[in-house]
Structure formats: C-alpha cells, structure tokens
Structure 1
Amino acid sequence: MSTTTPQAWGRGKLLAILAAALGAGLALLTGMGLFLWQVLADDPPERPVTQDTAPSPVELDEATLPQEGPARREQIADAQMLTVDDPRAYRQGQVAPTVAAPLAVPAPSSTGPVGVPTGYPQTPEGAVAQLAAIDVAVIGAMSVPRTHEIYRSWSTGDADPARWVMTENVTTFLTAAGQSGPTKEAGLVVTATPAAGQVKGSDGHDWVVACVLLELHARLVEEARAAYGHCEAMTWTGDRWVIDTTHPVSPAPSTWPGTELAAQAGWRPWVANHR
C-alpha cells in the first residue's frame, strides 16, 4: 500500500487567497515564514512561470506497468506528478501556445449522500467528475464537521476524516481567517469551479486515479482567486465512485488553468458533457 501523503494547501495556497480577500487582515498571517511572504508578494514576476522552474513528472509507461491488481494500483498512485514550487504558478503563468485536448466530463443525474451530486457513469471521466463534486461541496461549506461527514459518506473503509488532505485544507483556511469556530462565518464566501482534469491511470473498470484542477475564489471585502490541484484514487462501489482510502496518491500540481505549465502538467480543459 502506498505511504505517500497528499500535499495540503498548508504551504500558503489558501492563506494567500484569504489574505488578498481580507485586505487589512494580512496581519493575521504575521510570522508564517518567508515562503508565505513570497506568496503574498504584490511585485509582478520578472519572468513567466515556465517548465524550467519545475522538475518534470515521472512518466507512466503502460508497457512497464503490471496488467492489473495491487501492484499496478500502487505504481499509479505513487508516480510523481509535476513538482511546482514557484508560488506564482497557481495564480498566473504564460498562456499556452497550443490547446490541450479537452476532457469531456459527464453531468450528474442524481443527488447522493449529504447532498453531493452523483449519478456519474462507471468511466474514468465519471470518476473525475465525482471527485470534483466532492471537492466543490467541501470548499463551499468550509466546515470541519461537514468535511468529516462528506468524507465518511464518500470514501471506503473507516479512515479517520481528520487525516484527509481536504480536512487539513479547511482547518488551515479557518485558522488563517480567524474564525470563531469550525465553520466559516457569514460574509466569508469561498467557491470552487472545476477548470481542468486528468486521468492519471486506471485498473480495470472499477479503479481510477482521478485529478481535478479547481479555480478557487475567496471574497469578503475584495475577491481573490487561485488554482488548486487534487488527486484521489477512486473506486466503483455499488452504483457510484468513492474515494479509495487504501491508496493515498502523490500530490497534484497546482497551476493556473490555461497556462503553458498547466498543459505540461497534464491538465486538460474541463468541458461539461451534458446528457
């Protein structure tokens, strides 16, 4: 079983969004370190954010992967994706000179547990769509109890929701916002819109590592935006896709949609395939 831990927003991604949205609330983030100051810098970059600032990902070679089973799943889950360390990359970048093939994502046909859209088909694109629906619900609620409820309803086994990467993201955001409880207060609005996706790999018809690139918006006095990439192993259970908690996956690159770096990271523009 893989032991790779997904990377959370904790290195300043959502903190930067929050700081920009709160304006004078920058004081909340005092002491968070040099990296955060780099994230929050208002100075425009001296050069575009391009591939020469980020190591290349490990390529998945279908010919060398086991045909099926646990070994195949572990290799797919563990394979490193594009490493993006430049804090500018999730807010801006050089527009791609070519157009990546779009990812046609199916629409939901029903509503599942805890109000999360579902009814996606048993296809890799359906798994991507289901992960996006889960993420959008978590981010819109920005609530620790709600995140726990969503994770329990949309994952296998009895994994601790407090250890889920999205729970860490929510607690980081609420802490930076100075909220008085485990749920965002009225007036603070956070939304997520799927902008791109990719299928990292699959094993048969019932297991997929799905990835979604979300465009995040935070608003209080002003509005700020950033991108966040998230991957999970998804498994088909009964009549729906759920998160496979036995296979933690390598972190996804967070790159601004439509940029050259996003294309190099494998992100395909999100196209809703309405039925």
Structure 2
Amino acid sequence: MFTSPEPSRPRTKARRLITIAVLLVVVIAVVLLARHTTAPPSPSPAATPPGVAPSPTPTAPVDEATALATRPMLTLPPEAALPHELTTATAGPPITVPRPAPIADRVISDGFPATGEGALGWLTDFNETALRGGDPATYLRAYTESALPHAPSPQGSGPLALLTSFRENAGIRPGELKPGLTVTYEVTQGLIKGTADGDRFAVVCTLGQLSFDYQGQATSMGIGDCQALRWTGTAWRIASGARAAYAACAWPGSIESVRAGYRSLNRDGAR
C-alpha cells in the first residue's frame, strides 16, 4: 500500500533547520577565530646597504585599552560549543551582576553601576535582548542604539554573523516572523577580562545557551561574546576603537567553559 510522504515533510524541514543551526555554529566559530587570530603577513624589510647598521623596525604604541581588548581569548574546538557533560570544577566564585528595571524607549536597559560587574550586567542584558527571537534586525537595532561613534561595525560581531547565516540558510528574511520558530539566549556564565583608563573602560564576556526550537524540534549550543565597553559617565556603551577579541564558545558549565575562565553569574535584584 502506498503511503504519501506529505505528513513527514514538516518534521523533515524542522530537522533540516536544526541541522543547519548546528553546522553554522561550528563553521562560524572556526571562521571568526581564524580571521581574528591570524595576523597579516609582515612586510619584507627593505634592503640595507653594506656597512650600514639596519634601523630598528618602528612599532606603533598600543594603549592599555587596545591591548586589553585585542588580547586573544582561549581557542576551543567547535564541538566544545555543543551539549555535553558538565563539571563541578569552577574558574572562581560566582560573579554577582545587577539587573536593573527596564527603561522606556530603549531596547537595552541602563542604570548599571560603573564597575566591571556593572559592565558585565549590561552586556548580559544586551545579549539576551538582542538575540531573543533570532532576528538580525533586532540585534542591529540594539547594537546601533548602544554603540559610541567609531565603535566597531556590528557586521563583525560573532552573534550577528550566526543569526544572519542561520536565517539565510533557512530562507527566512531579517524582520520576517516565522510561525513555530523560537530563539532564546540565556546567559549563565561570564567573565571580566579586565578594566583600564581608571575603570572607565572594561572588556567583559558572556557565555550562554542559544536555543532554537522549530515546530517541536529543538537544539542548543553554547555561545560566548566579548565586548569592549566605555563608561560615559551615566551608562555603559560599546566603546570606540578596536574590537574585542572573539570569545571562546563552550557549553555552559562544561570543563571547556572553566578552562576559558567563565564563572557562574548571580543575578542581583532590579535596581
């Protein structure tokens, strides 16, 4: 007896979409890390005439903030981002980050204190909000609202590249609502890479679980994000200047996340 394949098509499509998501996180992690950690070739030195001592190669001074932002993070294999066994080991005690009340007319809340923990709390709120729904248009709006003049382009952001590639491969346009598709990002770990300029500049990183659910088919992966932030006197903003080195992507709570320096986060009450 012939059975029509029609009923299986939605499930097959859902599985294909989830497979795309998993493959994309692996590919993008490799591409972004390679792009960031591969230095451009040094120019060949000019020939020095015989009997003349070679001049030292001039080097441009690098300020403390730029050095902090661009210092590479731990490189992990792509499969470290996929779900696997957790560990009881830690990279240190939990970090308590504030969680202020939302502010009207802003995508991302303000009211975080001028501390490293405040910067990490701000980035936590930024990423959870900007990645919710998996729409690049939402991320771009949040980034544009939150970036200072001459900040790095959002197009170089790892999370935005992931969302954009996911939608392109799934055939979903930015801003288009897809019935049955749910995307969430829940931050559970983070780290404060360091501060500079009298603590008015901070580089912080979040690590969370990015989850895709499409018509009952779900998958999750661990996505990290680092940003260089500047305290304006009233709020944290994405800093002008060099882009922060790309974050290590690991499954939250795994031994790889510990090796990368991520610590559990405690959410403080609303301010």
Q: TM-score, normalised by structure 2?
A: 0.72
CA RMSD of aligned residues (A): 3.0
Contact persistence 1:174–1:182 (CA under 8 A): no
- Unaligned residue ranges in structure 2 (runs of 5+): 1-10, 31-60
Which residue matches 2:167? 174
| Range 187-196 or range 106-115, more displaced | 106-115
SS in 2 for 1:171: helix
Q: Percent identity?
A: 24
Matches within 5 A, 1:1-275: 22-25=14-17, 71-85=63-77, 87-99=78-90, 100-111=92-103, 113-158=105-150, 160-203=153-196, 204-220=198-214, 221-274=216-269
Shift of 1:118: 2.3
SS in 2 for 1:117: coil
**Change over 3 Å in CA distance of 1:199–1:28 after alignment to 2:** closer
- Which amino acid is the alignment partner of residue 200 of structure 1? K
Shift of 1:259: 1.5
Contact persistence 1:21–1:219 (CA under 8 A): no
Contact persistence 1:171–1:182 (CA under 8 A): no
SS in 1 for 2:221: strand
**Counterparts of 2:234 and 2:263 in 1: how far apart (Å)?**
26
- Unaligned residue ranges in structure 1 (runs of 5+): 1-18, 40-68
Question: Residues 63-117 of structure 1: CA distance to partner in whole angstroms, max 9, x if unpaired?
Answer: xxxxxx96111211121111012x3211234433423411111111342653322
SS in 2 for 1:84: coil
Q: TM-score, normalised by structure 1?
A: 0.71
SS in 1 for 2:184: strand
**Change over 3 Å in CA distance of 1:216–1:264 after alignment to 2:** same
Shift of 1:145: 3.0
**Counterparts of 1:20 and 1:216 in 2: how far apart (Å)?**
22
SS in 2 for 1:115: coil
Larger radius of gyration: 2
Shift of 1:251: 1.0
